[in-house]
């Protein structure tokens, strides 16, 4: 059996070899659409993708608490799974089977398919198999006629009679900074950035093309929630993300040990898991979000409408409707 490789996205990094850091990246429409689509992910989905222990702050603990909550304490008619795995509302057309809008890791698929050799019976054409010589369920003839499988691979080009997917225009290239700030690229902006980074010797710079598949997408999501140097951490891999917060002992008078809470307070805490990351950034301020989700939000907010696809609504990305959750309706979690 053949194992077809998923077609990953790619972008070019400009790396300062001496400082071991990514200065910025040159990216196309698909990469920028992927980055902006992270803003539509509900908090619970982000936690589920990167792992409970990999999210800065205590959101992972909240997710784990709901996950472990016995069904005895769940309201009749409330679906706990709807909170832990909320619907991902993609803001700019083109629903994707992948939560990250990226190619999933390769899966093993049959390399050949076969139809019945009997062409006189129309019912025989209804069956197809990956086993050469299998008996046809209709006429019992051998199924050995090769059939071609048409993969549902996504096309980057506009389909006939349809419209392009995503949010941004594909006629320009975009600059993605190490902190995920995104802007349209120009020759002047590239020179300005080199001056900003005080690059004295161009020989220290290296252009590096990297692939952006499902695993790299997860790494970018994880780093965007806890790091200020996302591209360096993911693609150079020699920097550790800083630990968030401080450690306090049980005798620290400034620490709350625990709280006694009723149903309303617990329902409120559970409902936070259904908030899209863009809503979190809008509510508490882009500069107050750990990692670089806030920078990504600010980039989408500042993006000029001339770079937005016709028919795509940027405000849907910046102010998405929260995914349906059991705490958003009359039913509740506890």
Identify whether the C-beta of residue 171 lies closer than 8 Å to the C-beta of residue 183: no
Euclidean distance between CA atoms 259 and 262, whole angstroms: 10
174 and 312 housed in the same domain = yes
Q: pLDDT value at position 241? A: 41
pLDDT higher than 60, residue 172: yes
pLDDT top residue among 215 and 148: 215
283 and 210 housed in the same domain = yes
135 and 96 housed in the same domain = no
Q: What are phi and psi of 53, to 5 degrees?
A: -85, 0
Q: pLDDT value at position 112? A: 76
pLDDT band at 98 (very low <50, low <70, confident <90, very high): low
Range name among 31-35, 217-221, 263-267 with the lowest pLDDT average? 263-267
Instruction: Give the H or E element holding residue 188.
Output: helix 187-196
| Number of domains the chain contains | 2
In this prediction, residues 204-229 reach a mean pLDDT of: 86
193 and 133 housed in the same domain = no
Residue 330 lies in a domain: no
Residue 96 burial (CB count, 10 A): 14
Residue 124 burial (CB count, 10 A): 19
Instruction: Give the H or E element holding residue 193.
Output: helix 187-196
Q: pLDDT value at position 121? A: 84
286 and 239 housed in the same domain = yes
Closest listed residue to residue 325, CA positions, set 68, 89, 94, 91 = 89
Range name among 25-34, 139-148, 245-254, 313-322 with the lowest pLDDT average? 245-254
Which residue range is the domain that position 235 belongs to? 9-107+168-318
- pLDDT tens digits for 60-74? 888 888 888 888 887
* Mean of all residue pLDDT scores within the chain: 75
In this prediction, residues 283-288 reach a mean pLDDT of: 72
What one-character-per-residue DSSP string does 265-297 give? HHHHHHHGGGSBHHHHHHHH-GGGSSTTHHHHH
222 and 293 housed in the same domain = yes
290 and 189 housed in the same domain = yes
Euclidean distance between CA atoms 247 and 235, whole angstroms: 30
Query: Which residues, 6 or more positions from 285, have their beta carbon under 8 angstroms from its beta carbon?
Result: 294
Could you tell me how many residues make up the chain? Answer: 334
pLDDT higher than 60, residue 54: yes
Percent of the chain topping pLDDT 70 = 73
Q: pLDDT value at position 247? A: 42
pLDDT band at 199 (very low <50, low <70, confident <90, very high): confident
């Amino acid at each position: 059996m053949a194992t077809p490789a998923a077609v990953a996205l790619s972008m070019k990094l400009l790396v300062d070899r001496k400082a071991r850091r990514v200065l910025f990246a040159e990216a196309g429409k698909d990469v920028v659409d992927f980055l902006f689509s992270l803003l539509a992910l509900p908090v619970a989905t982000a936690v589920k993708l990167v792992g409970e222990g990999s999210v800065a702050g205590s959101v992972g603990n909240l997710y784990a608490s709901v996950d472990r909550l016995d069904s005895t304490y769940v309201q009749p008619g409330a679906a706990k799974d709807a909170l832990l795995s909320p619907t991902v509302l993609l803001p700019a057309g083109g629903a994707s089977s992948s939560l990250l809008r990226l190619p999933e890791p390769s899966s093993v698929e049959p390399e050949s398919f076969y139809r019945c050799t009997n062409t006189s019976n129309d019912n025989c054409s209804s069956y197809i198999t990956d086993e050469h010589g299998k008996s046809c369920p209709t006429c019992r003839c051998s199924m050995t006629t090769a059939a071609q499988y048409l993969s549902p691979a996504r096309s980057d080009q506009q389909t006939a009679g349809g419209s392009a997917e995503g949010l941004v225009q594909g006629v320009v290239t975009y600059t993605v900074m190490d902190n995920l700030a995104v802007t349209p690229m120009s020759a002047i902006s590239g020179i300005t950035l080199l001056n900003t980074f005080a690059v004295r010797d161009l020989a220290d710079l290296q252009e590096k093309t990297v692939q952006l598949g499902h695993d790299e997408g997860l790494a970018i999501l994880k780093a965007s929630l806890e790091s200020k140097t996302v591209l360096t951490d993911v693609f150079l891999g020699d920097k550790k993300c800083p630990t968030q917060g401080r450690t306090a002992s049980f005798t620290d008078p400034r620490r709350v040990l625990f709280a006694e809470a009723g149903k309303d307070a617990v329902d409120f805490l559970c409902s936070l898991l259904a908030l899209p990351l863009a809503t979190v950034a809008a509510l508490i301020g882009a500069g107050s979000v750990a990692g670089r989700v806030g920078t990504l939000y600010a980039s989408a907010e500042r993006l000029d409408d001339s770079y937005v696809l016709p028919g795509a609504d940027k405000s849907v990305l910046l102010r998405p409707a929260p995914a349906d959750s059991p705490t958003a309706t009359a039913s509740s979690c506890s």
